[in-house]
Structure 1
Amino acid sequence: MAAGSSRPRAPQARRAAGPRRLSVPRIAVTGAIATDHLMTFPGRFTDLLLPDRLDALSLSFLVDTFSIRRGGAAANLSFGLGVLGGNPLLIGAAGHDMSDYGSWLQEHGVDTGGVRILTGLPTARTVTLTDEEENRITSFHPGAMAESGSIELRGLTGPGTGVRLAVIAQGDPAAMTAHTRQCRDIGLPFAATPSAGPASLTRSEARGLVDGARWLFTDAREAALLQEATGWRAPEILTRVGGWVTTLGADGVRIAVAGEPEQTVPAVPDAEVRDPAGAGDAFRAGFLTGLGWGRSPVAAARLGCALAAASLAGVGPQDYEVRARPLLTSLARAYGRPAAQEFSPALRLLDTSAHWSSSPHGPCRTAV
Structure 2
Amino acid sequence: MSTLICGSIAFDNIMVFHDRFKNHILPQQIHILNVAFLVPEMRREFGGCAGNIAYNLKLLGGEPTIMATVGDDADSYLVRLDDLGLSRAHVRRIAGSFTAQAFITTDLDDNQITAFHPGAMTFSHLNRVADVPEATLGIVAPDGRAGMLQHAHDLAAARIPFVFDPGQGLPMFSGDELMTFIRLANYACFNDYEARLLCDRTGRSLEQLAGEVEALIVTRGGEGSHIHADGRRYEIPCVEADSVVDPTGCGDAYRSGLLYGLAAGWEWEKTGRLAAVMGAIKVAHRGGQNHRPSRDDIAACFARTFGSTLW
| SS of residue in 2 equivalent to 1:224 | helix
Query: TM-score, length-normalised on structure 2?
Result: 0.95
Higher relative contact order (CA 8 A, sep 6+): 1
2:284 alignment partner in structure 1: 313
Q: How does 1:328-343 map to 2 (within 5 A)?
A: 328-336=299-307, 339=308, 341-343=309-311
Q: Unmatched 5+ residue regions in structure 2?
A: none
Higher Cα Rg, which structure: 1
Q: Does 1:187 align with 2:163?
A: no
- TM-score, normalising length from structure 1? 0.80
Contact 1:93 1:148 in 2 (8 A): yes
Work out which of the residue numbers 292, 296, 299 in structure 1 matches 2:263: 292
Deviations 1:220-272 (A, max 9, x none): 1111111122222212211111111111212222111152x211121212541
2:23 and 2:156 map into 1 onto residues whose CA distance is 53
Instruction: Decide whether the 8 Å contact of 2:170 with 2:194 is kept in 1.
Output: no
Give the whole-Å Cα distance in 1 for the aligned partners of 2:51 and 2:295. 23
Separation of aligned partners in 1, 2:37 and 2:169? 31
Q: Which amino acid aligns with 2:202?
A: T
The answer as to whether partners of 1:87 and 1:109 remain within 8 angstroms in 2 is no
Describe the SS at the equivalent of 1:27: strand
| Counterpart secondary structure, 2:91 | strand
* Residue of structure 1 in register with 2:77 after alignment: 101
Hey, what does 1:3 align to over in structure 2? none
State the Cα deviation string for residues 97-150 of structure 1 (Å, max 9, x = none): 111112212322322111110121010001011111112111111110011122
Query: 1:151-183 deviations in whole A, cap 9, x for unaligned?
Result: 2211x222xxx2101100011222111111122
3-state DSSP class of the match of 2:13? strand
Matches within 5 A, 1:1-368: 25-154=1-130, 156-158=131-133, 162-259=134-231, 261-336=232-307, 339=308, 341-343=309-311
Show the counterpart of 1:347: none
Deviation at 1:52, TM superposition (A): 4.6
For the 8 Å contact 1:124–1:142, the answer to whether it is kept is yes
Q: Deviations over 1:276-321 (max 9, x none)?
A: 1111111111222133233222112222111211111111011111
1:178 and 1:48, CA in 2 relative to 1: closer, same or farther beyond 3 A? same
Runs of 4+ in structure 1 deviating by more than 6 angstroms, as ranges, are none
Quote the Cα distance in structure 1 between the aligned partners of 2:109 and 2:292: 31
Offset at 1:51? 4.5
Amino acid at match of 1:212: L
Contact 2:302–2:310 (8 Å) recurs in 1: no
| 1:53 Cα deviation from its structure 2 partner | 3.2
**Helix, strand or coil at the partner of 1:164:** strand
